[in-house]
Amino acid sequence: MKNTVTIKGLDDVASVLNNIAPREARNLARSTVHASAGVIRDDAKRFMPIDTGTMKAATKSKRRNVKDNILRSDVLVTAAAFYWRFREYGQGPDMREDAMFMKALALFRQDIDRIFTEQFGKKLEARLARLRKS
């Protein structure tokens, strides 16, 4: 006799993961949050002004440790492009404000449910494919 599980919708997925595989659920949630930060990173890069490419290359998403059960990934610009703040807030000599991170965050907030659902689906599908191979 074969055991089967029928899943319909995200609530069922969450219930199955929390009851059967809580560790997998935590890992999938962390991956989903990090992938969503990657969406913000990619949008910010798209809004960046054309420059030597240093700022785009220096923009990264970084997964942070879980603290107080809060999953976190940050989008940051490394020291190689210290001038990003001047471009973001218009504090440089030309007083030009690009606001690439604010624009990316505004886009993310408009579609947050769709982005999380899409990223979760991709991560779950990839994990199930890896499990099938092993």
Q: Per the domain annotation, does 19 fall within a domain? A: yes
User: Is 5 inside any structural domain?
Assistant: no
pLDDT of residue 69: 83
**Could you tell me if residue 82 is inside a domain?**
yes
The mean per-residue pLDDT over the stretch 1-25 comes to: 69
Domain-embedded: residue 2: no
pTM, full prediction: 0.81
Amino acid at position 16, single letter? V
Domain carrying residue 18: 10-133
Report which of 98, 100, 84 is spatially closest to residue 42, judged by C-alpha positions.
100
State pLDDT tens for residues 31-48.
Answer: 999 999 999 999 999 999
- The residue behind tokens 């990223």 is 119
Q: How many domains does the chain have?
A: 1
63-87 pLDDT per residue, tens: 999 888 889 999 999 988 888 888 8
